[in-house]
């Protein structure tokens, strides 16, 4: 699922609404679209724009009560994206100023916070949108995947009727190897552009060529991944559990050995590229 952030840089709610509507309309021509609208005033009952609604197939209104939780649901922005990723091709996130995904800014942005993801455009209103270019750049960016979205994808395999097993592996950021270690704050991953994706695809095809293995999905995040967050997923659809478990184990081992990904570790005391210390 491709995620686009839209945030107000001073243009005001009406301009923001019209920009979001136009983007959602265009994306809806290409696939199912989910909208996540974040407003810090929702949770305390002072939300002033209840009449504003955006188009889209699924809409989440999220507010804040101190930990970015949706009022009454306990759902974070990340939770909402994970939920949408199982059956949406696109998500538009409105009002989040720190988003690792690509975004556009409506108005001259005077916010002091640097965006975590790339800013694709700054516009004053919908007339300034170059939609073809925006969609092309959005679809070239890393998609948002979750374990659930990958499992849902293999379940749609043409061979799903022959499958009796789905096995998965999830790798996450470990805070410490031992009690005395300095705590890891986050890991940052960079990939060898082009080569990493080619080798990941080749590895999937190699595993799928095995007897009894019908579908394989591999996914590894890039950029900064915080302590406790998921890094990598391996999902295998197979006829029986033995083939599924073996393909998962071989998949994660070969991914680490064969796919050129570079890891920087940032602890409370230091930061270093892991390959420099290996």
CATH code for the domain of 122: 3.40.50.300
Please check whether residues 7 and 128 belong to one and the same domain: yes
Last residue of a domain, one of 140, 166, 199: 140
Range of the domain at 83: 2-140
Please check whether residues 55 and 21 belong to one and the same domain: yes
Please check whether residues 165 and 242 belong to one and the same domain: yes
Asked if pLDDT for residue 50 goes beyond 50, the answer is no
Please check whether residues 270 and 222 belong to one and the same domain: yes
160-179 pLDDT tens trace: 999 999 999 999 999 988 88
Please check whether residues 122 and 244 belong to one and the same domain: no
Asked if pLDDT for residue 275 goes beyond 80, the answer is no
CATH number of the domain residue 175 falls in: 3.90.1170.40
Position with higher pLDDT, 178 vs 41? 178
Is residue 62 within 8 Å of residue 85, measured between CB atoms? no
- pLDDT value of position 74: 60
Please check whether residues 200 and 73 belong to one and the same domain: no
85-104 pLDDT tens trace: 998 999 999 988 878 899 99
Taking Cα atoms as reference points, which of 254, 259, 251 lies closest to residue 221? 259
Please check whether residues 36 and 62 belong to one and the same domain: yes
CA distance 14 to 147: 36
Please check whether residues 257 and 166 belong to one and the same domain: yes
Last residue of a domain, one of 140, 171, 200: 140
Please check whether residues 30 and 129 belong to one and the same domain: yes
CA distance 73 to 274: 39
Question: ∠ CA(59), CA(60), CA(66), 5° rounding?
Answer: 165
Whose tokens are 């790798």? That residue is 171
Last residue of a domain, one of 82, 108, 140: 140
CA distance 232 to 170: 6
Q: How many domains does the chain have?
A: 2
Please check whether residues 98 and 40 belong to one and the same domain: yes
Asked if pLDDT for residue 238 goes beyond 50, the answer is yes
Q: DSSP readout, the chain?
A: -EEEEEEESSS-HHHHHHHHHHHHHHHHTTS-EEEEEE-TTTTTT--S-TT----SSEEEEE--SSSSPPTTT---HHHHHHHHTTT-SEEEEES-SS-SS-EEEES----SSPPSS-EEEEESSGGG--HHHHHHHHHHSPPP--HHHHHHHHHTSTTGGG--EEEEEEEE--S-SSTTSPPEEEEEEEE-TTHHHHHHHHHHHHHHTSTTEEEEEEEE--EEEETT-EEEEEEEEESSHHHHHHHHHHHHHHHHHHS-EEEEEEESS-EEEGGGG-
Asked if pLDDT for residue 71 goes beyond 70, the answer is no
pTM exceeding 0.85: no
CA distance 103 to 122: 9
Is residue 62 within 8 Å of residue 77, measured between CB atoms? yes
- Residue 91: both structure tokens together: 């998500």
CA atoms within 13 A on the CB side of 33: 20
Asked if pLDDT for residue 40 goes beyond 70, the answer is no
């Amino acid at each position: 699922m491709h995620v686009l952030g839209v945030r107000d840089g001073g243009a005001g709610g009406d301009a923001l609404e019209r920009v979001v509507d136009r983007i959602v309309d265009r994306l809806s021509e290409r696939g199912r679209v989910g909208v996540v609208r974040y407003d810090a005033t929702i949770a305390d009952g002072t939300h002033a724009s209840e009449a504003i609604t955006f188009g889209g197939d699924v809409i989440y209104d999220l507010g804040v009560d101190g930990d970015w939780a949706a009022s009454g649901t306990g759902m974070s922005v990340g939770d909402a994206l994970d939920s949408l990723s199982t059956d949406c091709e696109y998500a538009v996130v409105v009002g989040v100023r720190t988003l690792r995904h690509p975004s556009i800014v409506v108005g001259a942005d005077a916010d002091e916070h640097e965006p975590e993801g790339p800013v694709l455009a700054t516009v004053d209103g919908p007339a300034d949108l170059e939609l073809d270019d925006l969609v092309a750049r959005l679809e070239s960016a890393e998609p948002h995947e979750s374990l659930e979205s990958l499992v849902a994808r293999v379940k749609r395999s043409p061979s799903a009727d022959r499958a009796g097993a789905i096995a998965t592996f999830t790798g996450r950021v470990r805070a410490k190897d031992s009690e005395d270690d300095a705590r890891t704050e986050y890991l940052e991953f960079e990939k060898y552009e082009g080569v990493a994706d080619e080798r990941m695809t080749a590895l999937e095809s190699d595993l799928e060529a095995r007897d009894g293995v019908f579908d394989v999905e591999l996914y590894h995040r890039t950029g900064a991944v915080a302590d406790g967050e998921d890094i990598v997923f391996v999902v295998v659809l197979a006829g029986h559990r033995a083939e599924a478990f073996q393909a998962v184990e071989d998949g994660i081992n070969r991914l680490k050995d064969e796919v050129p990904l570079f890891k920087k570790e940032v602890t409370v005391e230091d930061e270093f590229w892991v390959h420099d210390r290996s």
